[in-house]
Structure 1
Amino acid sequence: MLAEPPPPALRYGPSGHRAAPATAGGSAPYWRRLLPVVALLVLITRIPSFRHPLWSPDEGYLAVQARMLADGGALYETVVDRKPPLLPWLYEAVLALFGDGSPYAMKVLAAVAHLLTAALLAAVARERWGDRAGRTAGVLHPLLSVGLNPEDTQAATFEVFILPFTAAAIWCAGRGRPGAAGLAVAGALLTKQTGGAVLVPVLWLLWHSAPGRAGLPRLAAGLALPVLAAALLTDPSGFLFWTVTGSAAYAAFTGSGLHMASRGLANSALLALACSPLLAPLVRARRTAPGGTARGGTADLWVWLAASAVAVVAGFHFFGHYFLQLVPPLVLLATAALRPLPREQAASALLTSVCVCALFVTWGILAPRPELAHAQRIADAVRARTAPTDRVLVWGIHPETYWLADRTPASRYLTAGLLTNYSGGRDGPRVGEKYAMAGAWPVLVAELRSRPPALVVDDSRGGPYAPGRLPTLRALLARQYRPLPATVDGAVLYVRSPGG
């Protein structure tokens, strides 16, 4: 006598709109056909990332942090940043395995992160709406994930590694696994604070089911335990300060309002262009969705999109890479919007998306990187004027200079931003010594006195964080250093004065 088949997995959320689950026998061939296609798309869309060792200052910051950690530094003590620890640890591990090739190895891992995200989104769409929807979601993610400035999409930075965690959180919550969903939310949160926004749709999914509400303690445990472990593995007070309490000035809505608004509008326009073939179906689906809490099975996705939009706005900086957090919910919403369309019309929208994606990939391949070239010229000058064992201080916003020069930073503060609140172009009234991270200037002075750098590079180039506007740094340079007569690409190099 044949045994009865096991009951289907418990589903939370808009269960009335889910497709019948695929049989186990049909699942493996489905993924064997889909994953190679998605992997190929990810590989093609990530080709520009391998053009340069570093695409953005964030990559440079993480690479330098990895070296400092590998040399015995301690996170949130002698190695500091406003970000959680997961990505610095990953960079450190990759550096240990691949040495100076680690930036390119990280680009491979970024591609893997996109592949995992696409696969998870495909799994969510397939469970809700069937095989065709799964294929659509899997293909759409790599197409939309490059729909911003290449500097924002091709760099192996925080937002890229948030994506698989957020997609996993939604997938786990939808399958009735609150503990696993909590772990995924913790992974996103420990990659970047705004990754925690996915907790909102996860809670929505669980709350709209009686079994889901019963699983809330497991969700809380899955979320809290990794965060507590990360705090204990670092310095608990430092972890709290650098990731939460010490960033009030960074997140304040002051300074350069017009500049930040224009950046936000520009990046919104770029993402809208990437999504342009899908906007009409999305609007139509939103207008015609049936009433009720499920909103046609996409209510949690709209909640996810709204929570991600709040995360993008948080801090009022509107960097392009922040917008990557919008891509997974947009992919699933677009997938749902394409479902009722005739096959030919849906295929036309996807083909147009491929063409738009090709424009962004071409932009990435051809785009110049003037700031990277600038950092390389300064790095060449630093290398020519210092020994490999010398420490240097690069006063600016390009920490990649340390990596390119292969020199040890003279301070734990790798950019002027942490010491002046010059945060990604913010140059209003709240830039200066008094707006630095609490206690930062005494630490900097102690570092420079105990082990004076052999060379100081003023790379402010007239910016609001220039040494002339900072009494402590200005006095230190006047006492112990003298400027070289020739500048390097606008940067002023200071060497130690005789007897300094």
Structure 2
Amino acid sequence: MSRCAPGLAGTAVACAFLAKQTGGAVLVPVVWLLWGAGAGAGGAGARGAGPGSGGGCHFFGHYFLQLTPPLALLGTVALQILPRERTVRAVLASACVCSLFVAWGLFVPRPDLAHAQRLAAAVQSRTSPGDRVLFWGMHPETYWLADRVPASRYLSAGLLTNYSGGRDGPRVGEEYAVPGAWGVFRAELAARPPAVVVDDSRGKPYGAGRVRGFRRVLSGGGYERVGVVGGAVVYTRGAPDPPLLRNWGSAPDPAPQTPEGLKDVAGAAES
């Protein structure tokens, strides 16, 4: 291996980090370097885990975790052959980096979490502990924050619309859902209608404007808009015996709903 190869790999990692800023993409240059060099068990593990991390071309933050064990083995081998003073420096550098990321996780504002907390508080104020609710969005942790039972096994809109982070193009919609998912979803809502439905799409392509099935949930279930929380539209069930229970397919297909002109209910929920 060329002596300049590690430096080139480090530079490539820095460029990859600046370009992608997330997940296993930043480790691709290292895996490539190990692939060419061959580095015992750690190298074999990295070569095996590398394609699994990047093969799907979706570099979420947690996708690189399977690379951590082989890279740890490689780092241990390197520390064994280094002089003692360099080993101490490497350990100190690792401790500083770990401390930096722990502080980052504790103190950097997290707007998605803050939004979910406000949304959960608004739903809590409009429901009882035994009520079921439906959050139409991509943050299933809101159910836990609200301490309410989900109305369906589908805790996010992903399996029902094919939406996920990095996939917001034309292949998002009811027709791209997991086969049979909408039938199960409708049956669950018909059996146990949620007391509150929250459209947390906030302009994403899986919102009511593009997903006809979700619009039918709102119209067939007799839901009425009552406000917004940070752009998420809150609906409550107006009729005690919603049309959804009697005949799902007979509900009209309403126009897309928008939160314009609605009162923000978050302040009332937090008071």
TM over 0.5: yes
Q: Runs of 4 or more off by more than 3 Å in structure 1?
A: 261-264, 268-272
The answer to whether 1:488 aligns with 2:229 is yes
How far has the Cα of 1:391 moved from its partner? Answer: 1.0
The one of 169, 194, 198 aligned to 1:453: 194
The answer to whether 1:316 aligns with 2:57 is yes
Give CA deviations for 1:16-43 in whole Å, capped at 9, x if unaligned: xxxxxxxxxxxxxxxxxxxxxxxxxxxx
CA RMSD of aligned residues (A): 2.7
How far has the Cα of 1:271 moved from its partner? Answer: 5.9
Query: Identity across aligned pairs (percent)?
Result: 55
Asked if structure 2 preserves the Cα contact closer than 8 Å seen for 1:263 and 1:318, the reply is no
- Per the alignment, residue 471 of structure 1 pairs with 212
Give CA deviations for 1:263-320 in whole Å, capped at 9, x if unaligned: 9831259966xxxxxx8xxx7x999x7xxxxx5xx32321210111112124322111
Asked if structure 1 preserves the Cα contact closer than 8 Å seen for 2:17 and 2:25, the reply is no
| Separation (CA, whole Å) in 2 of partners of 1:286 and 1:420 | 38
How far has the Cα of 1:487 moved from its partner? Answer: 0.7
Unaligned residue ranges in structure 2 (runs of 5+): 1-15, 243-271
> TM-score with structure 2 length normalisation?
0.73
Higher normalized helix content (fraction of residues): 1
Unaligned residue ranges in structure 1 (runs of 5+): 1-260, 273-278, 290-294
How many residues align? The count is 222
Asked if structure 2 preserves the Cα contact closer than 8 Å seen for 1:455 and 1:493, the reply is yes
Q: In structure 2, do the counterparts of structure 1 residues 445 and 475 end up closer, same or farther at CA, with 3 Å as the change threshold?
A: same
SS in 1 for 2:22: helix
Q: In structure 2, do the counterparts of structure 1 residues 457 and 416 end up closer, same or farther at CA, with 3 Å as the change threshold?
A: same
- Per the alignment, residue 433 of structure 1 pairs with 174
| Separation (CA, whole Å) in 2 of partners of 1:404 and 1:434 | 31
**Farther off after superposition, 416-425 or 348-357:** 348-357
| Separation (CA, whole Å) in 2 of partners of 1:361 and 1:309 | 25
Counterpart residue type for residue 148 of structure 2: R
The answer to whether 1:266 aligns with 2:18 is no
| Separation (CA, whole Å) in 1 of partners of 2:60 and 2:25 | 12
How far has the Cα of 1:438 moved from its partner? Answer: 1.1
Q: In structure 2, do the counterparts of structure 1 residues 286 and 479 end up closer, same or farther at CA, with 3 Å as the change threshold?
A: closer
| Separation (CA, whole Å) in 2 of partners of 1:345 and 1:370 | 40
The answer to whether 1:305 aligns with 2:60 is no
Counterpart residue type for residue 469 of structure 1: R
Q: In structure 2, do the counterparts of structure 1 residues 371 and 347 end up closer, same or farther at CA, with 3 Å as the change threshold?
A: same
How far has the Cα of 1:470 moved from its partner? Answer: 1.0
| Separation (CA, whole Å) in 1 of partners of 2:120 and 2:236 | 15
| Separation (CA, whole Å) in 2 of partners of 1:472 and 1:365 | 39
How far has the Cα of 1:383 moved from its partner? Answer: 1.0
| Separation (CA, whole Å) in 1 of partners of 2:20 and 2:207 | 29
Q: In structure 2, do the counterparts of structure 1 residues 329 and 269 end up closer, same or farther at CA, with 3 Å as the change threshold?
A: closer
Counterpart residue type for residue 20 of structure 2: L
Asked if structure 2 preserves the Cα contact closer than 8 Å seen for 1:379 and 1:402, the reply is yes
SS in 2 for 1:428: coil
Q: In structure 2, do the counterparts of structure 1 residues 319 and 380 end up closer, same or farther at CA, with 3 Å as the change threshold?
A: same
The one of 158, 166, 177 aligned to 1:417: 158
More relative contact order, 1 or 2 (CA 8 Å, 6+ apart): 1
> TM-score with structure 1 length normalisation?
0.41
Counterpart residue type for residue 404 of structure 1: L
| Separation (CA, whole Å) in 1 of partners of 2:160 and 2:139 | 14
- Per the alignment, residue 390 of structure 1 pairs with 131
- Per the alignment, residue 377 of structure 1 pairs with 118
Asked if structure 2 preserves the Cα contact closer than 8 Å seen for 1:397 and 1:416, the reply is yes
Asked if structure 2 preserves the Cα contact closer than 8 Å seen for 1:376 and 1:401, the reply is yes
Give CA deviations for 1:119-167 in whole Å, capped at 9, x if unaligned: xxxxxxxxxxxxxxxxxxxxxxxxxxxxxxxxxxxxxxxxxxxxxxxxx
Q: In structure 2, do the counterparts of structure 1 residues 350 and 286 end up closer, same or farther at CA, with 3 Å as the change threshold?
A: farther
- Per the alignment, residue 260 of structure 2 pairs with none
| Separation (CA, whole Å) in 1 of partners of 2:121 and 2:236 | 16
Asked if structure 2 preserves the Cα contact closer than 8 Å seen for 1:483 and 1:492, the reply is no
Give CA deviations for 1:55-77 in whole Å, capped at 9, x if unaligned: xxxxxxxxxxxxxxxxxxxxxxx
Counterpart residue type for residue 267 of structure 1: T
Q: In structure 2, do the counterparts of structure 1 residues 496 and 262 end up closer, same or farther at CA, with 3 Å as the change threshold?
A: farther
SS in 2 for 1:484: strand
